[in-house]
Copies of this chain bind each other. A is one copy, B any other.
Amino acid sequence: MSSQSILSFVPGTPASQLAEWMRFFDSTGTTATRQFLGDAPVIIAHGPGVDTRPPSGLPAPVAKVAVTGDFRLGRRELRPQGTVVRIGETSVGDGSLSVFAGPCAVENEQQLLACADVAAHYGSVGLRGGAFKPRTSPYSFQGLKWAGLELLAEARRHTGLPILTEVLDPRHVERVAATADGLQIGARNMQNFELLTEVGKSGLPVVLKRGFGCTVDETLAAAEYVLAQGNDQVILCERGIRTFEHATRFTLDISAVALMKQRSHLPVMVDPSHSVGIPALVEPVSMAAAAAGADALLIDVHVAPEQALCDGKQALLPDDFGSLMGKLELLAMGLGRKMAGVVRPALADAER
């Protein structure tokens, strides 16, 4: 297994000083590479027993971590306070609890705007919706594609909510990124490394869904593909794994939420809807995710689930979503957290 020392510096550290560090490593026969974690310059010195005492006159790193294995830029030690990811005006990872809601797939203008209204009304801070849908079968509805993306932009104008949408093909990243506020990598593409590299380059916030057959370690490794492009705006998303238990669609790995928070500085999102696939379980599982420390939830909401073209049966009805949002707010208080962006409808009405 590889062994490295990682040095992280304050943003704005002059390139000349970093170059001196590189010369220092070179002089000691140590291979070193430069990267960025967001704005912060990072130097990775390869090999065991690396000497990382700062040569006099050079800036001391703000974090210095000895690392075995390939989990590097995402390690919590490099940023103990955690990373805040900004999607539109929303901050994920600042201690608040954020909810992103919307339909699984964009189906048409009316459906999308109605769902977006519901999401906004109850305090969702972002709108989810798939324009490009990865479907098990080539004969299933594959999404409205570019037209769906246009509709998402319209829904954003309509509600003010930033839009989060999936991208499937490295050839599409640039164009999708031109419209979306956040890019979602679906579970089936978590190890589509070409795609990860492209969304890394886009600079846009990335919601990286854990593959349903992938481990926590592999999820963290996949995030490195994005981080290695200098893009630190990554949210890890637990959405259930495959197990022998088929009473639910997947098995939400609740421990993984806490584990990823402890190991990595990246915020963690949970998708209860796709995990369980049963509306009646979305509420308790959402509550559990928040209590386990999730920074955000991703929830399927649909105004007419029975007519949905994709995964409709797992979506919450508007009223049930409203009820959930109320309970999450009370729960957040019990956790000493606040809900991002929630203006309680009753209060808001009274204030107007």
**For residue A263, which residue of chain B has the nearest CB?**
B247
Complex Cα distance, B220 from A197, in Å, reads 29
**Interface positions of A from 235 to 264, Cβ below 8 Å from B:** 241-248, 251-259, 261-262
Task: Tell whether, in the assembled complex, residue B70 and residue A137 are in contact, meaning their CB atoms are under 8 Å apart.
Answer: yes
The listed residue (B217, B225, B285, B334) touching A255 by CB distance below 8 A is B285
Q: Mark A263-275, 1 if CB is under 8 A from B, else 0.
A: 0000000000001
Give the Cβ gap from A109 to chain B, nearest Cβ, in Å.
25
| A:169-219 near B, CB below 8 Å | 169-171, 188-189, 191-194, 197, 211-218
Q: Which of B193, B244, B258 contacts A241 (CB 8 A)?
A: B244
A19 at the interface (CB under 8 A from B): no
A342 within 8 A of B: no
A72 adjacent to B256 (CB under 8 Å) = no
Is there contact, CB below 8 Å, between B243 and A258?
A: no
Give the residue name and chain of the B residue nearest to A224 (CB): B138
Give the copy number: 4
A243, A248, A284 — most chain B CB neighbours (10 Å): A284
A33 to B169 CA separation, bound complex (whole angstroms) = 26
* Interface residue? A291 (CB, 8 A): yes
We find that the number of chain A residues with CB closer than 8 angstroms to chain B is 73
Bound CA–CA A135/B192 (angstroms): 10
Residues of B contacting A218 in the complex (Cβ-Cβ under 8 angstroms): 136
Across the interface, do B280 and A262 meet the contact criterion of CB distance under 8 Å?
yes
Q: How far is the CA of A290 from the CA of B288 in the complex (A)?
A: 7
Chain B CB count within 10 A is highest, among A255, A284, A291, A331, for A255
* Known A-B contacts A253-B245, A253-B251; A291 and B293 likewise in contact (beta carbons under 8 Å): no
Q: In the complex, A135 Cα to B70 Cα: how many Å?
A: 11
Question: Does A221 reach chain B (CB closer than 8 Å)?
Answer: yes
Query: Which residues on the B side are within 8 Å of A134 (C-beta)?
Result: 191, 193
A189 to chain B: closest residue by CB: B192
Q: Is the CB of B334 within 8 A of A217?
A: no
Cα of A258 to Cα of B275 in the assembled complex, Å? 13
A289 within 8 A of B: yes
A189 cross-chain contacts in B, Cβ below 8 A:
191-192
Interface check A333, CB cutoff 8 A: yes
- Chain B: CB-nearest residue to A215: B245
Are A193's CB and B168's CB within 8 A? yes
A288 lies within 8 A of B254 (CB): yes
Identify the A interface with B (CB < 8 A): 2, 70, 72, 134-140, 168-171, 188-189, 191-194, 197, 211-218, 221-222, 224-225, 228, 241-248, 251-259, 261-262, 275-276, 280-281, 284-285, 287-293, 330-336
Q: List 12 A-B contacts (CB under 8 A).
A: A134-B193, A136-B221, A170-B171, A188-B191, A213-B242, A216-B247, A247-B259, A248-B256, A252-B255, A254-B254, A254-B288, A330-B335
Instruction: Knowing that A255-B276, A287-B291 touch, tell me 5 more A-B residue pairs with CB under 8 angstroms.
Output: A168-B193, A170-B170, A247-B255, A288-B292, A330-B334
